[in-house]
Amino acid sequence: MNFEVKPEYGSYMLELTPTFPYNQYACSLNGIESNMKNRRISISEYLKPNEHLLMIPHFPLLGEGDFAAVMGPLHGADADSDYVPDTIISPFTRFSALTRNIRKRRGSKVNIEVPTFMDENTTIPPTIHMDAMGFGMGSCCLQVTFQAENIEESRILYDQLVVIAPYVMALTAYSPIYRGRLADIDTRWTVISQSVDDRTEAERNGPDRIMKSRYDSVDMFINPDSSYAKYNDLDVRIDQESYDVLRANGIDDMLAKHIAHLFIRDALVTYDDYASYSDTETSEHFENIQSSNWQSVRWKPPTIGGSVEAWRVELRTMEVMLTEFENAAFTVFAGLLCRAILFYNLELYIPMSKVDENMKRAEKRNAILEQKFWFTNCGVPNTSRQAAFPCVCCDCPVHYSEYSILEILDGNKHFPGFIPLIRSYLEVINCSPSTRKTVSKYLDFIHKRATGEILTGAAWMRKFIMSHPSYKHDSIVPQDIIYDMLDRLVKVAIPARPHLL
């Protein structure tokens, strides 16, 4: 097989990754979609009749009634949930331990609340309540990791992807239903964030509080140049002891703060031989903290004593989508955007507080059409290699404004747009006709999604539900509607026809 299968949090979930990273050549982009299709074909061989592999972020009836073929008892030892049994958790011991320890450290069950979509006949409460890690970590997503040439390049990519993360989350929105109720959000993000919030009462509400869950948006840029410090306008707590050790060993201020910020969290899981690990021989202690700080973008240094020697950056906000075409389109888009960022020296910096605002806007219902997002007015510096995209506003008193997703993708009076930049980059590298044809299909699809011509998965689900004869316009989505909707999605997914959405 040319892919690997790994356990994930849900007993009904799989994590699928290519066996080897794709190479740096544009022609490798032609193989991403076929690799994804091979995964579905191979896994489908192990399914029973009438079982199907569906790539959607969240099972819409999770936690509502008898939502599973085999239901275990509620209030299990791990989650103690009113809605879901522990049997939804993968048997891999790390996941059950995480579930217990988050609850124990917090001092209570997690408390997840998302707004209900208030339809004309809605009488249910204005919030949908959930109470277990499984509601968040039982969701699927599309995560893409990029290798950088060196540490400097990895830090550049990290900062730029932090800004990009909300835009691609809105573009891939696929999660409008929780516990059989229509929500007023379209993505899984806040559900996951709340589902693993292990902060104590004092850490959530006390005078020295930690502002975010350990699963949330990034808090700071890591460019070492002090001229970018002005964009780090959030109050970021750090572990002072960690910071002092890092600085004493030659780590610059920004990177030391980034790592020390990770270490304000406790380890959630340890293993029997954990104490025997040597920090000079393995990165296991660091990775234990790093891997349970689930932020919108993750900076991944090389491992010590491991198999990975590269500097990497992981984009983590995208929702998994129904078809291989959709997932490949956004994987290729993100990869080429990274190459364009580096080639054209793009600087997409906006204040981190505006990135946080963008994250909140990105999860709202129909965000790509109804929300404006903060974006730079000066993303292409005059030092860029390509004079075709000069900065036209270097004297602007404010270097960021609100734009639609379409304006960010296609361009506006201040910025040429992500899609034109990618097309220009392909021209510069003399991309082959076959690869250009593949990429053009993907870019055209993403453009049409931004215009609303092709719906997001979330918008399609809402449209299907609203037009279903059983829907009473009361925000409740019963089993018969869910069955019909999933049956329709299966018929779209297997032939991979995203234009039907």
Q: Give the Cα separation of 400 and 391 in Å (integer).
A: 13
Q: Give the Cα separation of 466 and 486 in Å (integer).
A: 15
Structure tokens at 183: 């929500």
Element (H, E) at 3: strand 3-7
Q: Give the Cα separation of 178 and 47 in Å (integer).
A: 26
Q: Give the Cα separation of 261 and 279 in Å (integer).
A: 19
Give CA separation, 237 vs 212, 243, 261, in Å. 10, 11, 6
Residue 114's nearest CA partner among 100, 131, 98 is 131
Strand pairing category for 14-18 and 112-115? unpaired
Q: Give the Cα separation of 329 and 445 in Å (integer).
A: 8
C-alpha 432, offset from chain centre: 31
**Phi/psi of residue 382, nearest 5 degrees:** -65, -10
Q: What is the pLDDT of residue 309?
A: 80
Q: What is the pLDDT of residue 384?
A: 53
Q: What is the pLDDT of residue 70?
A: 85
Q: Give the Cα separation of 92 and 55 in Å (integer).
A: 22
Contact 89, 72 (CB under 8 A): no
**Confidence (pTM):** 0.95
Q: What is the pLDDT of residue 123?
A: 98
Q: Give the Cα separation of 78 and 140 in Å (integer).
A: 21
Residues near 226 by beta carbon (within 8 Å), at least 6 away in sequence: none
Q: Give the Cα separation of 342 and 154 in Å (integer).
A: 10
Structure tokens at 238: 């750090």
Per-residue pLDDT of the chain (501 residues; tens, 9 = 90+): 789 999 999 999 999 999 988 988 888 899 999 999 999 999 999 999 989 999 999 999 999 999 998 889 999 999 999 999 999 999 999 999 999 999 999 999 999 999 999 999 999 999 999 999 999 999 999 999 999 999 999 999 999 999 999 999 999 999 999 999 999 999 999 999 999 999 999 999 999 899 999 999 999 999 999 999 999 999 999 999 999 999 999 999 999 999 999 999 999 998 777 677 777 778 888 999 999 999 999 999 998 876 678 999 999 999 999 999 999 999 999 999 999 999 999 999 999 999 999 999 999 999 999 999 999 998 787 655 555 555 555 556 668 999 999 999 999 999 999 999 999 999 999 999 999 999 999 999 999 999 999 999 999 999 999 999 999 999 999 999 999 999 999 999 886 555 555
How is domain 1-217+296-367+456-501 classified at the CATH fold level?
Answer: Creatine Kinase; Chain A, domain 2 (3.30.590)
How is the chain split into domains, by residue range?
1-217+296-367+456-501
Own/partner contacts of 248-255, CB < 8 Å, gap of 24 or more, are 252/224, 253/224, 254/220, 254/221, 254/222, 254/223, 254/224, 254/229, 255/155, 255/222, 255/224
C-alpha 116, offset from chain centre: 22
